[in-house]
Amino acid sequence: MASLLVFTFSILHSKFCLLHLINMGWIKRNLMFVVGGVVALALLGAAAFYDWRSWDHNATAYDRLNEIYGKLKELNDKKPSPGNAVVNNIKSAKDQEAAVREWISAAGENFKPIAPIPDDAEVTSETFAADLSRTIDQMQHEAGAASVQLPPNYGFSFEAQRSIVQFAPGSLVPLALQLGEVKKISGILFAADVNALDGIQRVRVSGDDLAGPQTDYLGEVSVTNNLAVLTPYAVTFKSFSPELAAVLAGFAASPNGMIVKAVNITPAGAAQASVAPPPYIREGGMVEPPPVNMTGHGGLPTVLQEQLLRITLEVVIVKPLPKN
């Protein structure tokens, strides 16, 4: 480019000198030469402009190339990186995402929602009050049929709502959901033939809950994440270990997403241990199982006899959010 500019400058300087030496007659005699020189100068100017534009374009492209290279290096340095010619981490991530979504879809069969009580499009104070009384009465009869002891006139954590007919604004829908969930939990305990149900605790969802017995409630709240609503419950009951196993199996087999988060087991106590363990059926009638004697290393017998347990389960009900 430098040589081109030098050449152009030489032509211009020659033209300037010629203008002082020649006159119009000379221009007329050498018109073709003059025209050719002017055309050459125009072409040289155009070439110089094109060269400048090309240089500017190349500089811009070079800066863009450096930017892309820097971004590529940044991505390649990440852990994990997008991959290379051998390993395509982006495709692997997409495949894994598809597999997770497929698993979520299949797992949805184990997280079916529990129907509220009442299961109406619009819950009113009248319908909820009637269904609450009917459901509590039904659970009390189911407990009696399963020989499950209950606290006197137990309200299944809805003592605050049993005596009223007008409920706190905005509380009917969450109360209906909780009533359906408490009935499901109670059904699992009754089906396992536990000896006694001491109580069920739920989260407060109504202003009316502030006036209820404190033993009916947890100090926790429901938690909502990107996938589901997690509602905690606490269940306290008395049973022997076979019934406890049946309760845990019932929660595990539930299609309603009931997850046992924690188990706390203590002896029921001397006064409560008078409840007899489940009798074995033998010829001639039902009798209590005798203690099992096993001989230890020192020849002394070891007596194994099951005792009544007091068990508290922390249960979380997982309710998937509606799909958008």
Residue-averaged pLDDT of the chain: 80
Rg (CA), the chain: 44
Residue 311 exposed, middle or buried by CB count within 10 Å (0-12, 13-18, 19+):
buried
Question: Residue 268: is its pLDDT beyond 80?
Answer: yes
Predicted local confidence at residue 273, as pLDDT: 41
Confidence tier at 285 by pLDDT (50, 70, 90)? very low
Q: Which residues contact 216 (CB under 8 A, 6 or more apart)?
A: 155, 157, 158, 159, 160, 199, 200, 201, 202, 209
Listed in sequence order, the residues at least 6 apart from 65 whose beta carbon sits closer than 8 Å to its beta carbon are none
**pLDDT at 3 > cutoff 90:** no
Residue 87 has pLDDT above 70, yes or no: no
pLDDT digits (tens, 9 = 90+) for 18-68: 555 555 666 666 667 667 777 777 777 777 767 667 777 777 877 787 787
Distance CA 278, CA 205 (A): 39
Exposure of 296 in the CB half-sphere (CA atoms within 13 A): 6
